[in-house]
Amino acid sequence: MQDVASERSTDASVLRDGQRVLAELYMLGLVVECYAKALCVEHSGDALRRSVGHDLITILEQTGFGRMDLPPDCREFAESRDAWRRKQHG
């Protein structure tokens, strides 16, 4: 997952250089998600326990972190990124 995150980070840079801001933001969200999944795998020594889709909070909770462990701006990003979460809670 770290390799995927690194590669997507390069993609985000190319999009930024091309002034494709929305596409860059989408790609950066994927970068964060990949790093979160890599952290989960590194912490647990195993793959994610279940399919978590793109829900960053659920991914991080599987590593033993809670939403309140995140700085407020990161927590806001993680909570607002998943469309399913917004549909359920919004």
Q: Structurally, how many domains does the chain consist of?
A: 1
| CA separation for the pair 31, 37 (Å, rounded) | 10
Position 19 scores a pLDDT of: 94
> What are 9-54's pLDDT values in tens digits?
899 899 999 999 889 888 888 888 888 778 777 776 665 655 566 7
pLDDT above 80 (res 89)? no
Position 17 scores a pLDDT of: 94
* C-alpha dihedral (57, 63, 65, 67), degrees to nearest 10: 0
Q: What is the residue range of 83's domain? A: 2-89
| CA separation for the pair 43, 79 (Å, rounded) | 22
Position 14 scores a pLDDT of: 93
